[in-house]
Structure 1
Amino acid sequence: MAGKGLIVVISAPSGGGKSTVIREIMKSGDSRYAYSISTTTRVKRENEVDGRDYVFVSEDAFNKSIETGEFLEWAIVHGNYYGTSKKLVDAMLEDDKIILLDIDVQGGLEVKSHYREKALLIFVMPPSLEELEARLRNRKTDDEREIAKRLAAVPTEIECSSYYDHIVVNKVLSSTVDEVAGLIDKRYDAMMNLEDE
């Protein structure tokens, strides 16, 4: 775990905006940022690209990766497997990158337990449950049963957010992106100052 990199976990309930916030930060062109692509057994959505949005694998392939210890963290979320490659994250840390992880709260807490001060956990909170439900419906990627499953998980996700370093309410996307980027810069600068002393 050498290097001066920082792992930034961004979590939110489904539809909370975490993927959009990460996409906007990555668009900034700041070469310090790197995105860690998760592996999943979830069915690929129409607008997603394998290897860009996720690495899509079968459940058998995912289980083999668990058995060989390839994942830093993995979880079953909404009935699908998701995992983060330990090898990929460690390589990016060695390159002094700010690594953005789009993972659930269980995974975020697992990352924090492994990397401690090298991990910053930010929870993106929807402005209201009504707004969250509207976002889930408006993206038109899930059926009613899936939406209900995702909404049922929200209270537990919000409860776990109390273990996160920061909670940012996502009312206006541009303000949310600025706030998240500011929190990352502040933590990264503090790490650099400590390591230079």
Structure 2
Amino acid sequence: MVEAANSASNALQRRGLMLILSSPSGAGKTTISRMLLERDPQIALSVSATTRPIRPGEVDGVHYHFVNQAEFDRMVEADEFYEWATVFGHSYGTPKAQIRAGLKEGQDFLFDIDWQGTQQLYQKDQQDVVRVFILPPSIDELRRRLTGRGTDSPEVIAARMERARAEISHWDGYDYVVINDDIEACYHQVCEILHAERMKRARQTGLIGFVRELMRD
């Protein structure tokens, strides 16, 4: 962690990016996201706005920005969201202002959204978006993982499997596709993608000044 912080402080100024991780339920997206947030100080979770009620243990502004439906509708009309959707009767959206300010300062943001949200976000800001889709090694393994949780009925698992097949069909709408056969290996592959994207010339905003100084010597 210290090494990462030191390397970040010595790096040239750069523009941040928006890393999207998508996967069917049970493919490992949530675990990979948690590992990234715990181990990489340069990336932060994008905090969505939602109309759903706050749950015990949640903190407004940390887990979500909790708003009523009228305020959410106003934000939609004012084009304040990168993407938004209504899921199970509640609205969710990604506010633009905070993220745009962070990107200018070199802050990276992690998005845990589905393929529809990914499409919306990419259409709004292609230059800053990196899309990664995580696949399970097999459908049987995905079913085993969902069953192994022990929290859902057979009917719910069947519905999740049906939705998983629909989500997997959109794999070709992503920049990178990673197969999660081993969680640590999958995590390191995502890290490699993130590192390469951070190093892209277009995001290295400090390069112009640095190269000019080199040319003067």
Structure 2 length-normalised TM: 0.75
In the aligned structure 1, how far is the partner of 2:137 from the partner of 2:183? 11
Residue 110 (structure 1) shift: 1.4
**Does the C-alpha gap of structure 1 residues 64 and 142 become closer, same or farther in structure 2, counting only changes over 3 Å?**
farther
Q: Which residue of the partner structure matches residue 23 of structure 1?
A: 34
Which is worse superposed, 36-45 or 159-168? 36-45
Structure 2 Cα separation of the partners of residues 154 and 26 of structure 1: 25
Q: Is the CA contact (8 Å cut-off) linking 1:26 and 1:33 kept in structure 2?
A: yes
Distance in 1, Cα, partners of 2:89 & 2:142: 20
Instruction: Name the CA shift for 1:159/1:23 in 2 (closer, same or farther; >3 Å).
Output: same
After TM superposition, give the deviation of residue 177 of structure 1 in Å.
0.8
Check if 1:106 corresponds to 2:126.
no
Paired residue secondary structure (1:100): strand
* Aligned residues of 1:6 and 1:98 also touching (Cα < 8 A): yes
Gaps of 5+ in 2: 1-13, 209-217
- Which runs of structure 1 show a deviation greater than 6 angstroms over 4 or more consecutive aligned residues? 43-46
User: Could you tell me which of 179, 188, 195 is aligned with 1:185?
Assistant: 195
Shift, 1:144, TM fit: 4.4
| Distance change (3 Å), C-alpha of 1:57 and 1:114 | same
AA in 1 matched with 2:183 = L
Alpha carbons of 1:60 and 1:151: their partners in 2 closer, same or farther (altered >3 Å)? farther
| TM-score (structure 1 length as normaliser) | 0.81
AA matched with 1:49: E
1:157 corresponds, among 167, 170, 190, to 167
1:119 aligns with 2:129: yes
Following the alignment from structure 1 to structure 2, what is the Cα–Cα distance between the partners of residues 88 and 164? 25
C-alpha separation between the residues in 2 aligned to 1:100 and 1:63? 24
Alignment partner, residue 7 of structure 1: 18
Give me the identity figure in percent.
33
List gaps (5 residues or longer) in structure 1.
none
Cα offsets for 1:33-69 (capped at 9, x unmatched): 11102334567778x7344444455656544443443
The amino acid across from 1:66 in the alignment is V
Alpha-carbon distance change, 136 to 60 in structure 1, aligned in 2, over 3 angstroms: farther
Aligned length: 193
Distance 1:38 1:168, change over 3 A: same
1:132 partnered with 2:142: yes
Q: Measured at CA, do residues 98 and 151 of structure 1 come closer, stay the same or move farther in structure 2, by a change above 3 Å?
A: same
Root mean square deviation of aligned Cα = 2.8
Paired letter, 1:23 = R
**Relative to structure 1, is the Cα distance of residues 130 and 77 closer, same or farther in structure 2, using a 3 angstrom cutoff?**
farther
* Greater displacement, 72-81 / 105-114: 72-81
State the AA in 2 paired with 1:182: E
**Aligned 8 A contact 1:70 1:85 in 2:** yes
Question: Could you tell me whether the CA contact under 8 Å between 2:15 and 2:203 is conserved in 1?
Answer: no
**C-alpha distance in 1 between matches for 2:154 and 2:74:** 32
